[in-house]
Homo-oligomer: A and B are copies of this chain.
Amino acid sequence: MRVSLKDVALRAGVSIKTVSNVVNDYQHVTPAMRARVQQAIDELGYRPNVTARHLRNGRTGIIALALPELGNPYFAELASAVIDAAAGHDYIVLLDHTGGRREQEMLVSQGFRALVIDGLILSPLELADEDLSGRTEQVPLVLLGERHYDLPYDHIAIDNVAAARAAVRHLLDLGRREVAFLGAQPRRNRPAELRVRGWREELAAAGLDAGEGLVAATDGWGHEDGARAMARLLDAGRRPDAVFASNDLIAIGAMRVLSERGLRVPEDVAVAGFDDVVEGRYGAVTLTSVSPDKAAIARMAVASVLDRLDGADRPARRQTAGLTLIERESTRGRAARG
């Protein structure tokens, strides 16, 4: 059986409370007493039972992080950042993935998978406002990655539209005139929708074609989706001189197809992605990409959860994390290695 406070108290010949005081670094304990108790603790190898402590004070020290897909390096890198940010506050992270499916995202938001958590950070792909409006679960919820939720939840956003526009402008600045968009099925309020919008706005601002013929939608966000979409576009007879993909994996899949078809990147087709995943920095052609500040996102998200736990009773807050466009070979050519 595991050793409890009582055992230590017995051993040290003091009361449970005194042991508890020592364990919790309570101020008013005489050094002599502290030493005596500490010795008993060491001898017995006592470790506090966190479950009991949490039953008592209502906290578990765990926050859940629910992401669409850990296999996507963007989310893996983000998860890493969240684990570190949480560790800085003595919190640990329970990880879940939703597959980006709406029902799963709803389940998670209602806490059906994890009833032990103090807070939840959710990065939704499909979830709509109305899916969350009936939320009854009490633990603080922080939303990630979107910008148009109109709900009473804290929200760490990135400015998808502005970022997409910056990427497209970069392509236009390089003299490209036929910029295709590759990316997940744009549905209302989803990241893909905002990124197409940015693409469309920037082209429109430049007086260029943003017709549907230049958009190749994908079912998902993986390499293979990008490869298929690119192939479809080319098979349809389009020969854009630039491609903006709604994430890096799609961009990399597209580059793969371009190379198979004998098209050079960036000479024939310039390619830009979104996420700045490590993978993009090591391909045969390094990938130009919009780079969200993942560490900042993680920090803000964790801070928001803890803030709510500390009883902050303020209106829902929307914070925007920084973004940088990192220009690499897929748009600038080899000279631009980075």
Contacts and interface: CB of A to CB of B under 8 A. Distances in A.
Contacts of A62: 94, 116
Interface in A75-123: 76-77, 79-80, 83, 87, 92-97, 111, 113-116
A50 B284 contact: no
Contacts of A111: 47
A51 to B, nearest CB: 5
A114 B47 CA distance: 11
Contacts of A83: 70, 95-97
A79 B51 CA distance: 25
Contacts of A69: 80
A283 interface: yes
A71 B60 contact: no
Contacts of A32: none
Copies per assembly = 2
A260 to B, nearest CB: 8
A90 to B, nearest CB: 9
Nearest to A70: B80
Given A95-B95, A282-B227, A284-B284, A77 B70 contact: yes
A23 to B, nearest CB: 12
A2 interface: yes
A252 B285 CA distance: 12
Given A51-B51, A73-B76, A83-B70, A60 B116 contact: yes
Given A93-B95, A96-B92, A116 B61 contact: yes
Given A83-B95, A92-B113, A284-B256, A71 B61 contact: no
Interface in A235-269: 249, 252-253, 255-256, 259
A263 to B, nearest CB: 12
B71 A80 contact: yes
A273 to B, nearest CB: 12
B77 A138 contact: no
A120 to B, nearest CB: 13
A52 interface: yes
Interface in A267-315: 278-279, 281-285
B223 A278 contact: yes
A49 B55 CA distance: 9
A232 interface: no
A54 interface: yes
A133 interface: no
A2 B256 contact: no
A283 to B, nearest CB: 6
A245 B60 CA distance: 43
Contacts of A279: 73, 223, 252, 279
B278 A71 contact: yes
A45 interface: yes
A81 to B, nearest CB: 9
Given A71-B278, A284-B285, 10 more contacts: A45-B136, A61-B116, A76-B79, A92-B96, A93-B96, A222-B278, A223-B281, A223-B282, A227-B282, A249-B282
11 contacts: A2-B138, A62-B94, A70-B70, A70-B77, A70-B83, A73-B76, A76-B76, A79-B95, A80-B97, A87-B113, A253-B282
